């Protein structure tokens, strides 16, 4: 498209040069209307018809030459060449308009496809969580003891973990592992003699990763072992 625009600018410049008004041809020297009687001496020096033309007479244009020169020395073109260049300019304008329309259509089509792919991805995820929602509603309607409700909720949580695993979402290990600032967010420290220093002692909120991408870090408390600190 950039090449078409450059070509169109070049034709526009040529068209401006072609439409520039031409200078008027030089006026020929006026000749006295009254005939003069030439002397015999002038007749002897008069050039013959077959001889070279006088310097005062304008030279004839050779056949096959086209156009005239303007006062600044630039050559103009005749009407036929002007019409040809104008037709080429119109073709370039038409091609540019078509390319712009095709680009706009491609942009709109890309936006529609992007929205359709996003909707499809959201729908596939929501569809996997609908059974989990159904079990939560059944648990709310059920009558039972606290232990029975707890057991039901644990089953629902396990079902949700299975759905996340199908989506390649995994929980970040926390309690008992060494503190890693890339995946753990420390909320404080606790003194623990039974754990190594600078290890995760408690998990406040679980973190998750989608494959290798961190979705959210784990909120933890870090163990501080005074025995190892004194050593």
Task: Please check whether residue 40 lies inside any domain of the structure.
Answer: no
- β-strands 208-210, 184-191: how paired? unpaired
- Coil, helix or strand for 213? strand
Per DSSP, the chain holds a count of helices (H) and strands (E) of 5, 6
Domain of 174, CATH number, reads: 2.30.22.10
How far is it, in rounded angstroms, from Cα 173 to Cα 215? 14
Backbone region of residue 73 per phi and psi (left: phi > 0; alpha: psi in -120 to 50; beta: other values) = left
Cα radius of gyration rounded to whole Å, the chain:
47
Taking alpha carbons only, the member of 172, 171, 138 closest to residue 155 is: 138
Long-range residue pairs from 213-219, CB within 8 A, at least 24 positions apart, any chain: 214/182, 214/183, 215/169, 217/172, 217/183, 217/184, 217/185, 218/172, 218/174, 218/183, 218/184, 218/185, 219/185, 219/187
Task: Please check whether residue 153 lies inside any domain of the structure.
Answer: no
The confidence score (pLDDT) of residue 1 equals: 59
Mind listing the pLDDT tens digit of every residue in the chain (231 residues)?
A: 566 666 667 766 766 666 555 444 444 444 444 444 444 445 444 444 444 444 344 444 444 445 555 555 566 668 888 889 999 999 999 999 999 999 999 999 999 999 999 999 889 889 998 999 998 888 888 888 888 888 888 999 999 999 999 999 999 999 999 999 999 999 999 988 888 889 999 999 999 999 999 999 999 999 988 877 655
Q: What are the two backbone dihedrals, phi and then psi, of residue 196, each rounded to the nearest 5 degrees?
A: -65, 155
Q: Per the confidence metrics, is the pTM higher than 0.85?
A: no
Report how far apart, in Å, the C-alpha atoms of 71 and of each of 14, 56, 59, 75, 126 are: 17, 20, 18, 9, 79
Dihedral sign of CA atoms 210, 212, 213, 217 in order: positive
Number of domains observed in the structure of the chain: 1
Task: Please check whether residue 156 lies inside any domain of the structure.
Answer: no
**Domain range for residue 214?**
169-230
Task: Please check whether residue 7 lies inside any domain of the structure.
Answer: no
Task: Please check whether residue 206 lies inside any domain of the structure.
Answer: yes
What tokens does 156 get? Answer: 């629902």
- b/e 81-117 (16+ beta carbons within 10 angstroms → b): ebeeeeeebeebeeeeeeeeeeeeeeeeeeeeeeeee
The confidence score (pLDDT) of residue 227 equals: 75
Please, which residues have CB within 8 angstroms of residue 56's CB and are 6 or more apart in sequence? 29
Task: Please check whether residue 42 lies inside any domain of the structure.
Answer: no
Task: Please check whether residue 193 lies inside any domain of the structure.
Answer: yes
How far is it, in rounded angstroms, from Cα 195 to Cα 221? 12
Task: Please check whether residue 173 lies inside any domain of the structure.
Answer: yes
Longest dimension (CA), the chain: 149
């Amino acid at each position: 498209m950039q090449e078409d625009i450059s070509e169109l600018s070049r034709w526009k410049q040529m068209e401006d040069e072609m439409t520039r008004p031409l200078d008027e041809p030089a006026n020929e020297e006026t000749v006295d209307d009254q005939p003069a009687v030439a002397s015999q001496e002038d007749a002897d020096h008069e050039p013959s018809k077959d001889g070279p033309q006088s310097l005062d007479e304008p030279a004839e244009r050779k056949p096959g030459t086209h156009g005239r020169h303007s006062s600044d020395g630039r050559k103009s073109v005749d009407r036929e060449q002007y019409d040809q260049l104008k037709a080429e300019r119109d073709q370039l304008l038409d091609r540019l308009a078509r390319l712009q329309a095709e680009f706009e259509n491609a942009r709109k089509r890309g936006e529609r496809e992007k929205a359709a792919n996003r909707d499809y991805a959201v729908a596939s995820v929501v569809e996997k969580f609908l059974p989990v929602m159904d079990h939560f509603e059944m648990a709310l309607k059920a009558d039972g003891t606290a232990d029975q409700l707890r057991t039901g909720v644990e089953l629902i949580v396990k079902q949700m973990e299975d759905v996340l695993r199908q989506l390649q979402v995994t929980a970040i290990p926390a309690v008992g592992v060494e503190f890693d600032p890339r995946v753990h967010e420390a909320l404080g420290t606790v003194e623990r003699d039974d754990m190594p220093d600078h290890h995760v002692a408690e998990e406040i909120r679980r973190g998750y990763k989608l494959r290798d991408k961190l979705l959210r870090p784990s909120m933890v408390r870090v163990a501080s072992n005074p025995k190892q600190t004194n050593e």
